Amino acid sequence: KTLAGQDVTLMVSNKTDAEDVAYIDQFDVNDDGSYVCWFSMNDDIANYDVKVKVASGDIETDAITEASTVYQWLDSAVTVEIEEGIIETEVAINNYAGLTGLEYDMLVMFYDADGRLMSCVKGDTTAIADGINYGFHDVEILEGAASARFAVWSGKLGGFPITTVESISLN
């Protein structure tokens, strides 16, 4: 609370090249002593140092009690159709941030009538290019499966779902 109302400067710079500043901003400390800053990165934040300074001096980075990373670089959707024992999926991913080196896997999880996972089928790993990407994945319906769920998953950033689709009935 002793910092309430003061200006805070936040600088994010590359760990190996301090002159490579990815982000810098100045904002006020809230009345309760907290501060929040949102910004976008086109790289892994683990490659950067976060420095915080107020007019009265540096804030130790240990004082940053919570830092969250939210991946909002991609928009995606999955369309699912069932044709003669085959699940046909169309994946549309918009890489509007122009990120490079990303890939995704299409996952189809089959469940029995009691909701128990029977199998998880992974499609081929597919590169995500700049702009809008379309991928088509066909999977044979597993015998005895009552429902299926779908996920588009990226393992490049430590493994995170890009999109999921609610369960569909296969009966």
Percent of the chain past pLDDT 90, that is, above it, reads 16
Taking the CA atoms of the chain, what radius of gyration do you get in angstroms? 22
Task: Average the pLDDT over 52-64 and give the result.
Answer: 60
Instruction: List all residues 6 or more positions away from 11 whose beta carbon is below 8 Å from its beta carbon.
Output: 21, 23, 24, 50, 51, 52, 53
pLDDT for 70 equals 52
User: Nearest to residue 84, comparing CAs of 141, 126, 164, 16?
Assistant: 141
**Encoded tokens for 42:** 């086109």
pLDDT for 65 equals 45
pLDDT for 55 equals 67
* Chain-centre distance for alpha carbon 41: 12
Percent of the chain past pLDDT 70, that is, above it, reads 78
The pTM of the whole model exceeds 0.85: no
Task: Average the pLDDT over 69-81 and give the result.
Answer: 74
**With contact defined as beta carbons under 8 Å apart, do 8 and 24 qualify?**
no
